[in-house]
Structure 1
């Protein structure tokens, strides 16, 4: 299919202009005008680009791109990255916050469903837009069972602090680096806050708010949305997709 057809679909489906974002969301590097194979990854980095080339992908879709709103010279590692993409005819498309907040296949709704909760309502206001979600279930589950589920499904050992109830019925989820937004649980009936990266300040906020907090890794919490987006592309266009796993352990 034509590159422009795929990017037009993604721009609309992901509503890439819906929120102010440091990421340059959308097509960042233009490659071959025809797309036959789509690679997906969490991070745009040289290792990912080389693997995409070895898989003969001509379109790479990532959550974290290479352009983040600041100017830089195309030299050194930046030149090597872009050279690798262009020389292999690979287009790079990035989608950051619009993928986190997507109501159908976003990182946060996928984490909520993974844990066996029903998606309830948007949560976590950033530049006037909610980027996370809350989840609820009728019957509570134990705090430890949530940690065990995360470790089993995401392949990382989460770090948690139990400052609240052991019987979890409501959760708030902001993937990646959302720890600083824990204060937004104030006044809400939230039993557990789940995010990716740990943050020193959020420890004390969680303790004083008496809410459980779990850090399950920036990378690990941001693989689900991009995988789901790959399935959407497969079903709609019949394109072959492949996920490139380059875990950071962070």
Structure 2
């Protein structure tokens, strides 16, 4: 497949118009490589490890969820060199689909809901920035923790919860929580919870890791298209 056709495929999967404003200039084709694309790698993040693996596996393209670079660059130094060098030296295309893949049907949040066993799901779509789904739990929180491969930090009593809102990534926002409540959610699962949100939330907040909530969507994308998913799980632990 030529590069233009490949980019067109990715834009069909996750239309750029669905991305939020802060993703402007950060998604799409980030680094240009070979014009012919046959072997594709996929990951949540374009970390130095992932980029080295892409080079070692001789991929023609690497598709990631999170933008590789958040700040404008006036020089390529430090960690940015570690990301770009293996890609540029090996003519590997780098493509990012971020909030556009959060919002699209079948994207990050729909896969997450399926992975953790939510049924009868309703998408949160009240505003352009709404993400996540509300569904009926078919699995316990202990089972969800095992599926996600991470511990869950819980604020509040979730012993009787049956309706759960789940949103991939850093989605603990009061507007989203209230939207989830309006759809019947009795608890809210996301990552990177701030103290004031936990205290003010009308329903219990359940915090998983960012990686655990969003990697399933990229794994599913890779499986669907016959790409290879590169796992790069952050090392985390809990000391008590």
Shift of 1:60: 0.5
C-alpha distance in 2 between matches for 1:218 and 1:231:
21
Give the corresponding residue for 1:154.
148
Unaligned runs of 5+ in 1: 235-240
Tell me the distance in 2 between the aligned counterparts of 1:230 and 1:82: 22
* Aligned match for 1:190, one of 178, 182, 185: 185
State how far apart, in whole Å, the 2-side matches of 1:85 and 1:159 are: 37
TM-score by length of 2: 0.87
Quickly say closer, same or farther: Cα 1:193–1:25, change in 2 above 3 A: same
More strand by share: 1
Compared CA separation, residues 196 and 134, structure 1 to 2 (3 A): same
Partner-residue secondary structure (3-state), 2:58: coil
Q: How does 1:95-110 map to 2 (within 5 A)?
A: 95-104=97-106, 106-110=107-111
Distance 2:37 2:120 in 1: 34
Cα offset, 1:26, TM superposition = 1.2
- When residues 38 and 119 of structure 1 are mapped into structure 2, their CA distance, relative to the original with a 3 A threshold, is farther
CA distance in 2: counterparts of 1:119 and 1:2, whole angstroms: 40
Query: Mean alpha-carbon deviation: is it higher for 146-155 or for 29-38?
Result: 146-155
- 2:206 aligns to what? 214
How far did 1:83 drift?
2.4
Runs of 4+ in structure 1 off by over 6 angstroms are none
Quote how far apart the aligned CAs of 1:186 are: 4.4
How far has the Cα of 1:249 moved from its partner? 4.3
Cα displacement string for residues 104-163 of structure 1 (whole angstroms, at most 9, x for unaligned residues): 1x221112112222253221656x2432222136xxx5xxx5321222212111112233
Aligned to 1:14: 14
Aligned residues: 231
Partner residue, 2:160: 167
In the alignment, what sits opposite 1:178? 171
- Is the partner of 1:43 in helix, strand or coil? coil
